[in-house]
Every structure is written in C-alpha cells, then in structure tokens.
Amino acid sequence: MTAAPRDRHSPGTIDRTQTPRLVDDPRPCFVRMRLVSDGVWLAARIFERLGTLAAEINGREADPMQVWHAGNFITEEQYQFMLRDGPEPNPFRRVRMSTAGLDARIREQDEIDWLETRPIKWSARDARGRDVDEGA
C-alpha cells in the first residue's frame, strides 16, 4: 500500500528517469505546472479529442503546446489527486514561504546544540569523591 501525498501542492515524487520530450511533438500526458513563478501547482493534461490534441489546465481549456512545454509529467492518479477538491480557485496565486517564528526556533536549536556539545570540565577526584588539586 502506498502512502497518500501530503497535500494538493505536493502530489508525490516526480519520476526523474522519464524520457525527454520532443519540443514540437506533444503527446497525451498528465502534467503538474505553474502559471506564475512561485505559484501553486496546477493539474494539467493533454488528450485526444476527435483525432486532434486538446489540453486542460486546472479544468479549463488550454493550448496543448503550453501544457507540453511546462511542468513535470505525473501519473493519472496524481492528476486525479490534485483535482479531488476541485480546481484551484486562483491559479495565479503565489505561494510565499513565511519565516515567522523561524528565528526563535533556530536560536532554540542552537542553544540545545551548545548544551549537548559544550566542553566538559574534568577534575581529579580521590577515592572518596573529593576534588584533588592536580598541581600539588
């Protein structure tokens, strides 16, 4: 049983061993793509309709060449997973990562790392556990 992807914007791993695409020869396929840099991932596909190629991005009709040149190939299951909640309401929305609270977490982790790796002060002890002056 395979684990389900985390969310609609991360539908699993991409197969990096896929065959390269020929620039002027679009084929039926499923793709994830972005319409703007740092935008949300959108499900897209190229399919045959009445003997000619047609394409959809986010459930809307599109140019097959636009889909062919953009994004990463995905499986049909990943495509269906991305569309399970319906099409993205704003396909031009940018996703910005927030650093809110990150500085405090980094400082906290630095303190933990320092406590775990701080130098240990050794002292000589006698048989009864009392400190002994090594210089004497």
pLDDT over 90 at 16, yes or no: no
Q: Which residues contact 85 (CB under 8 A, 6 or more apart)?
A: 8
Res. 103 pLDDT band, cuts 50 70 90: confident
Over residues 5-26, mean pLDDT: 64
Question: Could you give the percent of the chain with pLDDT greater than 90?
Answer: 31
pTM of the model: 0.57
pLDDT over 50 at 4, yes or no: no
The answer to whether the CB of 44 falls within 8 A of the CB of 62 is yes
**34/23: higher pLDDT:** 34
Q: Measured between alpha carbons, how far is 85 from 101 in angstroms, rounded to an integer?
A: 30
Please give the pLDDT value at position 81. Answer: 92
- For 110-127, write each residue's pLDDT tens digit: 777 777 666 666 666 766
Please give the pLDDT value at position 68. Answer: 92
Q: Measured between alpha carbons, how far is 19 from 27 in angstroms, rounded to an integer?
A: 12
User: Would you call 66 helix, strand, or coil by DSSP?
Assistant: helix
Give, for 43, the enclosing helix (H) or strand (E): strand 42-49
Phi, psi at residue 64, to the nearest 5°?
-55, -35
**135/66: higher pLDDT:** 66
Domain ranges of the chain: 7-117
